[in-house]
Every structure is written in structure tokens, then in C-alpha cells.
Structure 1
Amino acid sequence: MVLREVESDFTILDLEWQALHGYSPIENIKTRFKSPISLLKKMEKRGISFNQEAIREGIRDIAGIRVVTSFIEDVYMMLEHLKTREDLHILEIKDYIKNPKPSGYQSLHVIVESKLILSDSVVWVPAEIQIRTLSMDFWASLEHKLQYKYKGMEEIPEADREILRNIAKSSFENDVQMSILRQRLLDE
């Protein structure tokens, strides 16, 4: 339910933006729940005991939403929108766009709690919202597939990791150039 509500909210925002500005900032939205196997692996890696409260406190990305935008500015516009929502509490913001991971990965991660109204109570459910551009999504998707061949980034040879970092930098530069071009065309 939480994923549907947040996804619906982004869809409405996109439609509203289209109607008001003639422009759709969202390219696509994906939702997912972490698989039980993936959840157990993460719990084991972090030393989290198998009880509801420990899982709730220690793993905040069981529910995940990925919003892919056209331009970098759209990423931060989505963040500002999240800040206005009364049914969400923002717990943490990890800005891997301004501070890329050593691998070159870029995205904005927003850890939230979303209000879930049940028949007899209200529960705040944690979720991770990833917001990134098409270019960042392209890089992350392919890098993720390469990791499976090597079973982890640390197993990829250093020369190849450097190539991945350079591709990430090039992708980001493309994003910047597209934003500059967009602004120039809007100003004309």
C-alpha cells in the first residue's frame, strides 16, 4: 500500500507538471519489495536479529521506489515535493549526486517513513526513494549487471573499475550539458 500511495503521488505530480508547464519531469517509476533472500543476506551482513523492531530500525529499504527524471534539476524538484508531504517523514537524505560513491554511482536516496492507515491503527512504514536521471539510471543498471559477473564491485579489476568511474563522470557531464541546453532553449 505504501508503495502504491507514493507512486500515485509522483504520477499525479507528473500529470500536474505536464498540465501547468507542458513538461513531464518523470521518465519512469519503479517499485519493489526486497526479496526474502535479499533481506536475510542484508540482516546477516549487518548483524541484525530476526525480530520486527530490529529489522524496522536496521533495514529501511525493504520497500523501494525509483523515480527516473529527465534532468538533474528534476531530481531536486522531486525532493522538494517530498518535503511538503504531511504523510511522509524524511529520515535521511543521501546525496550521491553531489557526493558520488567511489564506484562512480550517482543518485539521490531519500529514506522516509510513510503513513499506513490500518483498520485499527496507524503504522509508519520505512521506504527508500531513489531519484536519479536517465543517464544515472543507465549507468547504475549496467554497473549492477557487471557486479553479478564478478559477485561484487571489489572483485572487478581496478582498471575496469576506473573505466566504470570514467563512464559515470561522462554520463554526469552529459546530464549537465543537457541541463544547460534545456535552460538555453527555455530562455529563448
Structure 2
Amino acid sequence: MEIDKVMERIEDQSELIKLVEDFSYLFKEYEMGLLELKSDIEIIDLEWQAKYGYSPFEHVKTRIKSPLSLKDKLKRKGIDYSLESIQQNIFDIIGVRIVTTFEDDVYKIYDILQGRNDLRIKRVKDYIKNPKPSGYKSLHLIVETELVLSEGVKWVPAEIQIRTLAMDFFASTEHKLQYKYNTKKLSDSIRQELREVADVSSVLDRKMTEVRNTIMMD
């Protein structure tokens, strides 16, 4: 009996080691996928500058979820902490946020991404045309980027958010107010004020686009 227990512990430890190794390789794949996306964005930037004479990007931020953050998300969603569950249910381990100056450029970038052979767009949530109740606006894409490895081609999932500077300012400020200050539920009056700020941001986006278009016509 004692030998059986020892063998069980050895098997459990072997399974744990195998799980750690599998997760380590999985996150390396995500790192490689992020490198591919960064390369795509740099190419889009250079091509855009050649065509239009300016960069469409105010800034681009990227991140890969940490194992701890991933585990917290799985727990919140009631998803098993396993490779299979992650691959079937979690698509935002890689995150890319693209911030533009003009709202028109958001959709131009989206069109360019749609036309790439090394990128698949799997899902679109347009919070610009259909803002959230808070006033939050952004174009959210779930994509798969092509990863060419020695063992063959893999498609790595990622989330890309595209929005203007005004939208990004609102989203960042709303996040700080609601989460950074430990405010679980904002009052109705505060929500109304935030919605008014979002409306002002939308007016700013439209005005800046009008100014840009007027300059280009002169």
C-alpha cells in the first residue's frame, strides 16, 4: 500500500511538471504571436506614411496576460485551468490597443487588417457605432495571427482594440474612477456626468475630422 501511495505521488508530480512545461510553451507561442502582430502594425504604419504622409497611430500598447491574471479570469468565468479550456475559451491573452487621431482612421485600419492574408478576423464588437451605456467607445476585434513554425503553421488568437485619443482618454478615466478607486457601483448622477463627457469626446472627434478634411481640401 505504501508503495502504491508513493507511485501515485510520483505520477501526480509528473503530471504537474508536464502541465508547467505545456503552459510555458503556450506562453512562448503567445509571445511569438505578439511579435507577428507588432511587425504587421509597423508595416501598416510605414505603408500609411508613404500613401498619406502621416502616421495613423498616436500610440500602440501591447500586453500578454500574466499566468496569475489568466488564472483569475478563468476563475471568474468558471473555466477549468487547463490548456484545452484556455484554447477554447480565452482569446485575449494577447492584447493590442491602437490609438488614432481621427475616427475615420479607426475604420481604415480595420479595413487594412481585413485585407491581410496572415490575419483572420473572427469577431467584431463595434462600440463606436453602438457605445456601451457608460458612453465607452472602441472597436474590438478578436483575431488570429499566423505563426509559421518549424512544425507547421499555427493561428494564435489576440484581441485588438482600436480607438481615437478622445475615446482612449474617456476609457482610461472611466476605468480609474470605477476600479482604481475601488468604486464597485457608480451613482446614477456620476454615470450621467460620464455619459456627458463621452458625448463631448464624440463631438471633439467629429470636429477634428472636419478640420482635417477641410485642410486636405485646401
- Kindly report the root-mean-square deviation, in angstroms, between the aligned alpha carbons of the 2 structures: 1.4
Q: How many residues align?
A: 187
One of 92, 101, 105 as aligned partner of 2:123:
92
* Secondary structure at 2:92 match in 1: coil
Identity %: 53
Aligned residue type for 2:109: M
2:87 & 2:171 partners in 1: Cα distance? 26
CA contact (8 A) 2:36 2:147 kept: no
* Secondary structure at 2:79 match in 1: coil
TM-score scaled to structure 2, two decimals?
Answer: 0.81
Superposed, which structure 2 residues align to 1:165-184 within 5 Å? 165-184=195-214
One of 39, 54, 57 as aligned partner of 1:26:
57
Q: Which has the higher contact order (CA 8 A, sep 6+)?
A: 1
Post-superposition offset of 1:180? 1.3
CA contact (8 A) 1:7 1:29 kept: no
Higher CA-based Rg: 2
1:5 & 1:32 partners in 2: Cα distance? 13
Are 1:155 and 2:185 matched, yes or no?
Answer: yes
Superposed, which structure 2 residues align to 1:135-150 within 5 Å? 135-150=166-181
Post-superposition offset of 1:56? 1.7
Post-superposition offset of 1:126? 0.6
Structure 1 runs of 4+ aligned residues shifted over 6 Å read none
| Structure 2 counterpart of 1:164 | 194
Post-superposition offset of 1:41? 2.0
1:35 & 1:164 partners in 2: Cα distance? 31
Aligned residue type for 1:48: I
Structure 2: gaps spanning 5 or more residues: 1-31
* Secondary structure at 1:17 match in 2: helix
Are 1:48 and 2:79 matched, yes or no?
Answer: yes
Post-superposition offset of 1:121? 2.7
Higher relative helix content: 2
1:85 & 1:52 partners in 2: Cα distance? 28
Structure 1: gaps spanning 5 or more residues: none
| Structure 2 counterpart of 1:81 | 112
| Structure 2 counterpart of 1:17 | 48
Post-superposition offset of 1:36? 2.3
Are 1:60 and 2:91 matched, yes or no?
Answer: yes
Post-superposition offset of 1:71? 0.3
Post-superposition offset of 1:53? 2.1
Post-superposition offset of 1:140? 0.9
User: For residues 9-57 of structure 1, what are the alpha-carbon distances to aligned partners after superposition, in whole Å with 9 as ceiling and x for unaligned?
Assistant: 1122112221222121111111101122321222122211112122122
User: For residues 167-186 of structure 1, what are the alpha-carbon distances to aligned partners after superposition, in whole Å with 9 as ceiling and x for unaligned?
Assistant: 11111110011111111111
2:156 & 2:182 partners in 1: Cα distance? 31
1:139 & 1:170 partners in 2: Cα distance? 10
2:180 & 2:143 partners in 1: Cα distance? 32
1:98 & 1:174 partners in 2: Cα distance? 16
Name which of structure 1's ranges 69-78 and 177-186 shifts more when overlaid on structure 2: 177-186
Name which of structure 1's ranges 62-71 and 43-52 shifts more when overlaid on structure 2: 43-52
Are 1:132 and 2:163 matched, yes or no?
Answer: yes
